[in-house]
A = this chain, B = another copy of it.
Amino acid sequence: MSAPAVPDLLALDRAAQDLLFRAARTANTFTDEPVTDAQVAAIHDLIRYGPTAYNGQPLRILLLRSPESRARLLPYVSNANRAKTASAPLLAVLAADVDFHERLPELYPHRPQARDWLADRATRVEQARFNATLQIGYLLVGVRAAGLAAGPMAGFDAAGVTREFFPDGRHEALLLLSVGHPGPDAWHDRLPRLEATEVISVR
């Protein structure tokens, strides 16, 4: 009797495995088909259940819908990413709310003093970045769950985007995200992935 295939060791069915990970790809081109606010809300309604420390949920999502907002973003994007940024049906700035702790008495009601543990801004910035980044991981999965392709872009001037779009000083831009339906020649061949033996060690 042979061992079960690796995908069959999971509870998640194969179609969902393909949709979210195995067949999903980062798109470099998109069709003109729009991404609606209802789709974005549905993605958020799914991924908001992902865990964060103190249930703090520091991720904030700024959708750049107007031509003016998109034009303001482009100077901060690296040359390599500028064309695909300009052509994406939906463009978002993903940011961390550095003052997420203000909501903790409501979000983490059994330990309302958690807000005071985060009184120090440097501690809070680190926590906000870490947990918002976890949530970006959930969000990329959520975009794929909506049948859409996500294009995360780290090649941009994050400090510049923070100044341009979050002059309140309470947000930090972490990543740009383009979302849409994949267009022609949306991707190259899949790049190699590390094997379990290269990633996992046991002690």
Residue numbers of A with Cβ under 8 A of B are: 3, 6-7, 9-13, 15-17, 19-22, 24, 26, 37-51, 53, 55, 57, 59-66, 69, 103, 106-110, 127, 129-130, 133-138, 140-141, 145-147, 150, 152, 154-155, 165, 174, 188, 190-194, 196, 199-203
Residue of A6, A109, A146 with most partner-chain B CB within 10 A: A6
CB of A61 within 8 A of CB of B201, answer yes
In the complex, the answer to whether B133 meets A49 with C-beta atoms within 8 Å is: no
Are B137 and A10 neighbours in the complex by a CB distance under 8 Å? no
By beta carbon, the residue of chain B nearest A47 is B21
A-B contact pairs, 10 of them (CB 8 A): A13-B15, A16-B16, A17-B46, A40-B200, A48-B194, A61-B201, A62-B200, A130-B133, A137-B140, A165-B203
B residues less than 8 Å from A7 (CB atoms): 42, 45-46
Contacts of A63 in B (CB 8 A): 200-203
- In the assembled complex, the CB of A101 is this many whole angstroms from the nearest CB of chain B, namely 14
Of B60, B62, B188, B199, which is within 8 A of A57 by CB?
A: B199
**What B residues does A174 contact at CB under 8 A?**
130
B residues within 8 A CB of A37? 202
| Bound complex: CA A69 to CA B201 (Å) | 12
Given known pairs A49-B21, A137-B136, the reply for A145 and B203 (CB within 8 Å) is no
- Are A107 and B191 closer than 8 Å at their CB atoms? yes
Find chain B residues with CB under 8 A from A165 CB: 203
Residue of B with least CB distance to A13: B16
On whether A134 and B145 interact (CB within 8 A), knowing A192-B107, A199-B57, the answer reads no
Q: If A134-B140, A145-B12 touch, does A24 touch B49 (CB 8 Å cutoff)?
A: yes
User: Cβ of A145: which chain B residues have Cβ within 8 Å of it?
Assistant: 10-12, 16-17
Q: Which residue of chain B lies nearest to A59 when distances are taken between CB atoms in the complex?
A: B199
